Structure 1
Amino acid sequence: MSSPLDALADTVHAVRELWPGEQLDALAGADLVKVNNLLGAARRQLDAAVTKVTAEISRQSRPELGPESLAKKHGFRNANSLLSGSLGTTGGEAAKLIEVGEATAPRVLLTGERAPARFPHVAAALSAGRIGAAAASVITTMLKRVQIRAGAEAVDEAEQTLVAQAAGLSIDLLRKVVRSAEAYLDPEGVAAREEELRASRYLRMWEDPDGALMFNGRVGPEHAAPVKTVIEGFVTAELAAQRAAEASDDPDVPHRTIPMIQADALVRLCEHVLACEHSDVPLGGATVIVRVSLEDLENGTGHGTIDGLSAPISIGTVRRMAADGGVIPCVLGTESEIIDWGRQRRLFTKAQRRAICERDHGCARCGAPPGITKVHHIRWWSRGGTTDMNNGVLLCEACHHLIHDNGWDIRIEGVGTKAKVWFIPPAHVDPGRTPQLGVRHRYDHTAA
């Protein structure tokens, strides 16, 4: 019988034939793909050898051997610590290799007789290099979990099917297949696992040293479904708007990564709940309160604070938040007296939003769809701005930040849905501060 290393040696020889030197850029595309495929085969073949060795090291390092344990003879506490150090991996990864090795190695019975591997089909595929150790671990871990309830015959059938499906699949896709197989083999276990997931759900929040709020959480499929659906829907809409804005060659369009957009989605959802007049979410009167002195707010100096968070915020951020409909500012005078707590009816009504949508058709500056915009006060509420159409404008989050961060002004010309929105750039962008027409009237000649 050939050694597991014989196939590996043949594969390495084939790689050297295609890739004799160090440079890869001279290889044709087809040859580069062949080299990649051969290296994948080599990794799987090496996995077959590694799992056999780890299984034997684990067998010779059994706790009952005491000081005669192979690991202890070489100065290690157990097989796991020996392997993690020599293979340069984590303790958890070493433990998985040992489990795969033990599940796929021939067994020695108490009588001294040899028996087939616990999972012979996985063992055969691993030895042949059709699957790697990671795939073998995913399959055998699940099969061990359901073995008693499903029965030997069903498990053997599932093992053959999964091994055949695993070849060529990524581990992420294989996990999906294995989860489906587990539900088929152990339908009663699905409900039990769901109950475990419900009981173990959590969301933790804490501030890091820089003052950023950090999140860590875990929810089962039942609670994950609405969260994932809404956030992915938001990301899809935002990416479409971002691509449209980038196509316009606007140099001011900010580029956001998907993780950034997902964070924005969470913020927008919470802002929506705070601002919604008919929300049935029990918030106990929760309100975002931003504290700032009247002098700092008017002069653009100093900083502000947000109730419940320890990090100070810049005056620019205070001004942006003061302009948002979902936040009530607490403006303090020189003697710390309360000048303005804001007014609860500061939000634009749904009817007003519909009318402003009819006028602006989306973000008034970049044209992003109405669904990802908010109505913002042009003259800030904290500065006496009114909640009417001529003091409201639809802006997406990116344009809202651009306007407030860079000193742009907005002017409404006309009344009602035929009014035009003008954006006046700051002097550092245009010394003449020439007004720029909003996107609807700039590109839609029928709106004139």
Structure 2
Amino acid sequence: MIRGQVVEALREAARLVGMGPDTDALRAIQTAQDALDAAKAAHLAGLEQSRGFEADGASSVTSWVRSRLRVSAPEAHALTRAGSTLVQLPRVAEAAQVGAIRLEHVNVFSYGLRHIGTRVVTDAQDWLLQVAQTCEPAELRRVMRALRAATYPGELDDAWAKGMDKADLQVNAVPEGFHVTGFLPIQVGSRFRTVLDSLSAPVDADDQRTGPERRVDAIDQLCQQILDAGLPSDKGVRPHVSVTADAETVHAAATHTRGTTSDPMVSADLAGFGPIGPELLSMIGCTADVTPILTHQMPNFSQSRVLNVGRTHRLATLKQRRAVLARQEGRCAAPGCRNTHLEIHHVVWWSRGGPTDLDNLVGLCSRCHHLVHRDRLSIRADGHGDFIFTDSRSRVLTSDLRHRRAVYREAIRIHHLDIAIRRRRAERASA
């Protein structure tokens, strides 16, 4: 049924493209696109139910969509939510499958199911569809919010208690720092406000910091206290902020003078943020413990050999865990996975005689680690210090993201090297 409706919409769009009036062609194209989006969401719902994504070595539908369909995280979440909504609301599914409503309309129905309730939205499904078929998604969202207000008049506390209000907190990297947005439930917000007020109070009468400065300092102090105490879930590695930089960059930052531009330095990389400049690197290094990690092996020296413990220890040592995290830039090694809370896994399992050596250790998130032990995901060393991942059908999995990042960093390195060569040539010519 779905296939016939999609094919018919595509056939009509193909008939009008380049031949019919622009207005008719655009309407037909939009209808076909909406029908395809609905079909995609419906198939994702089927994939979720069958758990077929695990056969491809993915830990979730969202992870599969991001790696296999190459869509962004917000779009992946929207598609999976839409698939679930189409299963719960059959009439909405019928309208979406013929291209009568858009995926954005379906997402508004998803909002209604979550914040109002399945029974209320199902009962109102017919007249809400009339709004969706005649108005843009923004108008449907306004109507849906009005329905919520009518269903729960003035009962925000009850809505919270029933889990119908969204609690969220996002910390996103932007060029100047991090942008924090979100909404905290009453009990969480009151605790946070109490701690923030206490830590951000003026130290004494001479404290000249502004309110925003004191609040930011308070959050920094709170995070520092937690990091200093350590977290039990980090397997003996005290949580820390990681900065990756080569020895030359660190030395240049240590001797850097503000305003001096004679040394074009390769910027360091702050985990979770991105490149940072020499002055910030110098400040972080001034108050931090430094853990040197060899990233390029030199002749007659092997970092692996130094860190290997063979069969004398089952669990990775502290230095080994740090080395694995540095090697993977703190991210799960499974292609397409970006989780950062990692567990150390023996590629050749310890129970099968695998040693606790660096070249036999890999960092995996909990979900990918479970896939390995369920034989949904397989790992083997490639003999060059890296690992090859295959799914349950023995197909090799690749990560376009990591490849693009590696290419980008190599391009930046070559660019800075070119600048350095040009500067040295100019210095020799003027000498």
TM-score of the two chains, using structure 2 as the length reference: 0.37
Q: Which structure is higher in RCO with an 8 Å CA cutoff and minimum separation 6?
A: 2
Please identify the structure whose Cα radius of gyration is greater. Answer: 1
